[in-house]
Structure formats: structure tokens, C-alpha cells
Amino acid sequence: MKGRKVVVAMSGGVDSSVAASLLVDRGFDVTGITMNLFSLLGELCRSEELRSCCGQKAVEDAHRVAIHLGIPHFVADLRREFMAEVIADFAREYGRGRTPNPCIRCNERIKFRIFLERARRLGADFVATGHHARVAVDPAGLRYVLKKGKDRAKDQSYFLYRLGQAQLARVLMPVGDFVKAEVREMARRRGLPVAEKTESQETCFAPLGDYPEFLAGRAPLAFRPGPIKDLDGRILGEHKGIGNYTIGQRRGLGISAPRPLYVIAIDAPRNTVVIGQERDLYRKRLLASDVHLVSGGKLEEPVTVKAKIRYKHQEAKALVTPVSTRRVRVEFDRPQRAITPGQSVVFYRRHVVVGGGIIGRSLA
């Protein structure tokens, strides 16, 4: 690999900075590029408290690391592409009463498609990121596999399940072989100027976590008042727009009851929020569409996997049965709490990502 060209997606954070440093040490010809995906408000762009990978502060931090490492650094303006591919989809899904995961969409459409293609045009052999995940070759040497990162608490393979063979062949994830504490210590030992930087956590285009405010002007139909009903169809109150709610939500319902109430379902065509008790949140089955397998193949018969219905959800044993070419039914051994349309269900076999799909609806 020595001497081969690699473009590192540098977010200005510790992980991508250490990834770049490791690749320099391994003899790669390294260039750092920071993706400008979204323009934050001026007062937020340079905030030391902003825990987002976007903004002017991220660009400056990445540039300081590049100077320290002695590598070129550039900024790629992908705001137009990000708006079309990620934000438009995010607003559209909320308008349908669904809760999408924009990071999965961004990885699929921006980082590992558009950015990867731009890197190829620059003559790069690989793109590298600071993801806590690993790329390997299967024992037969026939296919690439996507594996969980060594640090299970920081593992980000869930967000990468839509990668395929063509992408994995050209992607490096150097920090996936280390736990976070090791990555942080490497940053200190190497004198990287971001060694003590706080991890980014918020969504880049809504760094304060205020999705309704962000969406109000982009999906106005999702913020029309409508009825709140119980499972028997009785009207219990009025909601302020389905864009303010997601499955499993308890706060903000504005309804007094002897027991806690939760959002059980969102009926977008009828502009209705359905609520019930916590026990009503549990389901054993779901239907998923737009199914993608990392291997590039198709699911032709039922398979047993461990499945996650959201990033922080604990994996659970499940049977995945094909319904059509890109639709599956997932049946869990035990009921799962708050299966949410729009989120992704991701399938694992031990530490290897099999694939996943977009949750359409839950079944009893």
C-alpha cells in the first residue's frame, strides 16, 4: 500500500484526524478533504460548544491537523448535493409520518458515492474515514465484508450497511481496529491539536437537536394540527403537527391520564397521532423495503440473524424472510419496543454486517 494515494474525509474530529495520521505513518500519499455539507448560522459555526462535524470550526480544526501532519488539505463544497439527497429526503419522510436516519442516507449518497467519485477523479486509490468499523475480505478471498469496530460501544457499522462491494474495495477505516481510548491516546502522543476535542454527536444540520424548527419551513404539511386518538379511535386531544412526534414518544402529548401514554402510531394520511400504554409499543414483526445486502447478492430464503431496529437498540435474534426482490419480513424471537417506520433495521451475523432495509411498518 505504500505510496498509494488516499483521500481522508477529515471532519476536524479526533477519529478522522488519527485516521489520517495512521495512514501517513503507513506510507500512503495522503490528502485531507473536509466536506462542507451544510451552512450553519454564523454564531454557531465557530462555537466551541457545537458538537457537530459541520461548520467553520470543523474546517479550521481539520486544517490545523493537516498542517501538523504535513499533508495538503482542501474543502469540498457538497451543500447542493447534501440538500438534494439528504435534507429533501429527511423532510419528505417526516411529512409521511416517518422518522428517517439522515446519517445512513448521507453515508450512502454523499460520503461513499459522490465524495468517493470526486476522490477517484483526483487520482486517489482509496477514501479513508474515521468510522469505527472495519473492512476485510472473507475467508475465501472472494468478497469484501463490513465488520463492527473493535470498540463495541462506539461501533458505527449500523450507519454503513448500505455500502456495497464497489465501495468497500476502495474504503479504509483505520481507527476501526482500536477502541476509543486508544484513539484518543494516539492523538495525544502524536500531538494532534484536536486530541482533547469533544466528540460530535448532533446531526450536522440540526446541531441543537431541534428537528421541528428545522423542518417547519421544509415540510409545512407535517405541522398542521390534527386529532390525537387512542387505539379504539376515540379523540383525546389535538396535536401540533405529526412532525413533532415519533413512535415511543411520551413527552409533549398534553393529555392527562392515570398511566403514562406514548405515541404508538402516526397516521399521516389522516393527520392523526395514535397513543396508548407502553405495552402497546411492543411488536414481534416488521416489514422492511429497499433491502440491501453488503455482499451484493439477493436474499432467496429465510435466514436467522441478529437485528437492530435503531442505532442504540440492542441486537435481537430474528428470522428474515424475503417477501419480494427488495422487501423482507423480520420476525423477532421476542417483541421489540417502538419499531419505527423510516428507521433502518440492520442485520448481523456475529460481528459481520449482512445488510438491512428501511422499516415500513410493524406487525403484531
Domain-located, residue 219: no
Predicted confidence at residue 161, as pLDDT, reads 98
Domain-located, residue 46: yes
Predicted confidence at residue 210, as pLDDT, reads 66
Catalytic residue among 45, 54, 103, 106: 106
Cα atoms in the 13 Å half-sphere on the side-chain side of 18: 27
pLDDT digits (tens, 9 = 90+) for 180-208: 999 999 999 999 999 999 887 667 777 65
- Which range (22-31, 121-130, 201-210) has the least confidence? 201-210
Q: What is the mean pLDDT of the chain?
A: 92
316: domain CATH number is 2.40.30.10
Domain-located, residue 195: no
13: domain CATH number is 3.40.50.620
Share of the chain above pLDDT 70, in %: 93
pLDDT digits (tens, 9 = 90+) for 304-362: 999 999 999 999 999 999 998 889 999 999 999 999 999 999 999 999 999 999 999 99
Q: What is the pTM of this model?
A: 0.92
pLDDT band with cut points at 50, 70 and 90 for residue 72: very high
Q: Which amino acid, residue 41? A: L
Predicted confidence at residue 43, as pLDDT, reads 47
C-alpha cell at 165: 462491494
Q: Please write down the HEC assignment for all residues of 195-243.
A: CCCCCCCCCCCCCCCCHHHHHCCCCHHHHCCEEEECCCCCEEEEECCHH
How many Å apart are CA 229 and CA 263, to the nearest integer?
10
Could you tell me which residues come within 8 angstroms of residue 219 by beta carbon, excluding any fewer than 6 positions away?
91, 92, 94, 95, 243
In the predicted structure, residue 46 carries a pLDDT above the cut 60: no
Do 180 and 61 share a structural domain?
A: yes
Predicted confidence at residue 142, as pLDDT, reads 87
CB 168, CB 127: distance < 8 Å: no
- Residue 103 appears among annotated catalytic residues: no
Beta bridge partners of 35: 76
Helix, strand, coil share of the chain (percent; to 5) = 30, 30, 40
Q: Which residues form the domain of 345?
A: 282-363
Catalytic residue among 53, 54, 103, 204: 204
Cα atoms in the 13 Å half-sphere on the side-chain side of 93: 22
Report the length, in residues, of the chain. 364
In the predicted structure, residue 110 carries a pLDDT above the cut 70: yes
Do 261 and 117 share a structural domain?
A: no
Do 248 and 353 share a structural domain?
A: no
Do 289 and 332 share a structural domain?
A: yes
CB 163, CB 107: distance < 8 Å: yes
According to DSSP H, which parts of the chain are helical? 14-25, 42-45, 56-69, 79-82, 88-95, 102-106, 115-121, 165-168, 180-189, 211-215
pLDDT digits (tens, 9 = 90+) for 3-16: 799 999 999 999 99
- Residue 54 appears among annotated catalytic residues: no
pLDDT band with cut points at 50, 70 and 90 for residue 23: very high
271: domain CATH number is 2.30.30.280
Share of the chain above pLDDT 90, in %: 82
In the predicted structure, residue 39 carries a pLDDT above the cut 80: no
How many Å apart are CA 11 and CA 299, to the nearest integer?
36
C-alpha cell at 233: 379511535
CB 262, CB 248: distance < 8 Å: yes
